[in-house]
Structure 1
Amino acid sequence: MWHNVRLLNMLANTLIALSMLAALAVGARWLMQRPMFALRAVVIDGNADHINAATVRADAVSQLRGNFFTIDLDAAQRAFETVPWVRHASVRRVWPNQLAVSFQEYQPLATWGDGQLVSVDGELFAANLAEAEEHGKLPEFSGPPGSEKEVTSRYYDFVKWFAPLHMKPESVTLSARYAWSLRLSGGMQVRLGRERGDNTLALRCQRLVEAYPQVAARWGNQIEYVDLRYPNGFAIRAAGMQFLNDKSAQQQSN
């Protein structure tokens, strides 16, 4: 081999190339660690009505590790998504020492349980209730664990079904036995019971909507409670109603 000039030249060139690559790697590593590439700022893009710099700094920026070159963008995304109100965060580098973050906020629809909120997509999240209700009180949802999307979907149905009465649900409850009840604007409680088929709830609501003008003509805004679980009708309770036992009824009739 030592007498093969061509092979020796190739070996020498290979060693030189490897040495140059090693030197470049060391130089690049040295350059990447220079203070000029330390992260200096986080730029927030997009609409972030409920997200402020102080919260981002306290909850997310303190978790960031590395500089412009070495920071793990996936880890940074997860850190920013721990900030209240953040549904999704998108993170990118901005030369030479910044991060740009685009936030997608949750849009609150209702409260859920003890201190949680439900988004318009039926997702649970935690945030300041006072901020969520800055434009008005939110409806109240409750249900078994994991049922928030189902309750949200039914809420939209109830809004549509009771629209002819100019009433909106102020609370929607799904019990542990999966029976539905709600409170409409004005305070009327409506008990719907369990779903027996695809159209069970729709038909029960329709029954009330169709009969409501006659019911309201008799009781006005005194109706407190409606039970729609009956197969061919419903029961109501109004503020002015009297409930008599058989003896009392006989005395009043005399």
Structure 2
Amino acid sequence: MWINQPITRVEVHSTLRYIHKSRVQSMLNPLIKSRFFQLDLQRVREVLLSQSWVKEVSLRKEWPDKLVVFLEEKEPVARWGDDSLITGDGDVFGLRNLEDFQALPVLKGPYKQAQVVMQQYLAIGQLLRPMGLVVNELDLSSTGAWSFQVNGVRVNMGEDNRAEKLQRFIRLYHARLESQWQRVGRIDLRYSNGAAVAWNNS
């Protein structure tokens, strides 16, 4: 029927950084063979969301023969373990090749705690950034102990009183460590009101 035309035009709205437009097109091609009124938008949405990089999808049909696609990509903030990436929302997604993301920090922990680990990473980074320190790695062990690596130095915090221990680290850095940071090997904050500093052999 002339009023129920095949879909002949697809318009994709997105600032694509990680997904190639050709990939989007190849996914859509077998799905848009239906005519205008038979096109299953929910099915199209599910297929697009199945892609690792796709965060959100919205679709609109425009009569007589057009499909409009709005795509939002995931934005990786860090690597998660050895084979995945994680967004600022704590959404972990795997990729076959992480070669292009080696410069990102590494977060580790139980998968179910990914959102908590990301929140802690953002909180620590916000505290230390004004000091010129960058968190390279953050670990949450299976026992609930936290540690992070900042500018190459490992800092152990343990399980409890993280906020107080971070403030202690900041005071220690400004009072004693900033001028000789290159000599610091690791820092242990797992004490009630102190810290231990291990120095590099050099």
* TM-score (structure 2 length as normaliser): 0.89
- 1:206 equivalent in alignment to 2:167: yes
Deviates more, 1:38-47 or 1:221-230: 38-47
Deviations 1:152-204 (A, max 9, x none): 1001111122234321211111010111011112x000001102xxxx11111
- 1:160 equivalent in alignment to 2:126: yes
Q: 1:79: which partner in 2?
A: 47
Match of 1:115 among 83, 94, 106: 83
- 1:129 equivalent in alignment to 2:93: no
- Label 1:75 to 1:211 Cα distance change in 2 as closer, same or farther (>3 A): same
**Partners in 2 of 1:240 and 1:105 — Cα distance?**
46
Aligned-partner SS, 2:46 = helix
Deviations 1:25-70 (A, max 9, x none): xxxxx4566xxx2222321013222222221133444345622110
Q: How does 1:58-97 map to 2 (within 5 A)?
A: 58-64=26-32, 66-97=34-65
**Partners in 2 of 1:218 and 1:144 — Cα distance?**
36
Bigger CA radius of gyration: 1
Aligned-partner SS, 1:225 = strand
CA contact (8 A) 1:90 1:103 kept: yes
- 1:173 equivalent in alignment to 2:144: no
Q: 2:192: which partner in 1?
A: 231
Match of 1:104 among 32, 52, 72: 72
CA contact (8 A) 1:162 1:205 kept: no
- Structure 1: 5+ residue runs without aligned partners? 1-29, 242-254
Q: Which has the higher contact order (CA 8 A, sep 6+)?
A: 2
CA contact (8 A) 2:6 2:35 kept: yes
- Label 1:124 to 1:64 Cα distance change in 2 as closer, same or farther (>3 A): farther
CA contact (8 A) 1:85 1:126 kept: no
What residue identity is the alignment partner of 1:168?
V
Aligned-partner SS, 1:146 = helix
**Partners in 1 of 2:84 and 2:10 — Cα distance?**
29
Q: 2:21: which partner in 1?
A: 53
Deviations 1:196-217 (A, max 9, x none): xxxx111111112112234326
**Partners in 2 of 1:227 and 1:60 — Cα distance?**
54
**Partners in 2 of 1:116 and 1:217 — Cα distance?**
34
Higher helix share: 1
Aligned length: 201
**Partners in 1 of 2:189 and 2:117 — Cα distance?**
19
**Partners in 2 of 1:116 and 1:65 — Cα distance?**
34
**Partners in 2 of 1:161 and 1:88 — Cα distance?**
31
**Partners in 1 of 2:98 and 2:27 — Cα distance?**
19
What residue identity is the alignment partner of 1:181?
S
